[in-house]
Amino acid sequence: MPTTSNTAIDLGDIEIRFLVEADDSAGAATVFECLVAPEAKVPAAHSHNAFEETVYGLEGVTTFTVDGDTRDIRPGEALCIRRGQVHQFVNTGNVGAKFLSVVTPGIFGPDYFLEIRSVLTAGGPPDMTALLEVMRRHGLTPA
């Protein structure tokens, strides 16, 4: 029986909804939707050495930069981000964009986004040191 709650994690300009968590796949993968508002503040460029991330465009256009190469991901298009590749994304359009992210193996889950939300909603400007610590704790290496 799946354990995923499908509850949206609101990060302001970005919303995350997990569809498959590690327990659902015996650790093989995690899957989440990412809704990105136009001109959203997005995660810092980063890499991850313990998992691959494949993104699949669902709505709008999300622009990914991977190791310096920029590519627009539209509905029906996909991009695999290999371990160690430095990447980030933006939505420069005037409508929301949505993509599906598949992480293999499934070691990256909702806890990361929940901790990021806690830092972002702590009051005042975001604590960049705390955000970077959360990233590192969950296997992301800021660029």
Every domain of the chain and the residues it spans? 8-142
CA angle 92, 97, 100 (to 5 degrees): 130
**Secondary structure class of 130 (helix, strand, coil):** helix
Q: pLDDT band at 2, cuts 50/70/90?
A: very low
Write the class of the CATH domain 8-142.
mainly beta
Tell me the pTM. 0.91
Tokens at 129, concatenated: 């040191």
Q: What was the pLDDT predicted at 1?
A: 41
Q: Residues 101-115: what's their mean pLDDT? A: 95
| Per-residue model confidence as pLDDT tens digits over 28-69 | 999 999 999 999 888 889 999 999 999 999 999 999 999 999
Q: Please state the separation of Cα 133 from the chain's center in Å.
A: 16
User: For residue 27, is pLDDT > 50?
Assistant: yes
Q: Where are the beta strands (DSSP E) in 11-121?
A: 14-20, 30-36, 46-48, 52-59, 62-66, 69-73, 78-81, 87-90, 97-104
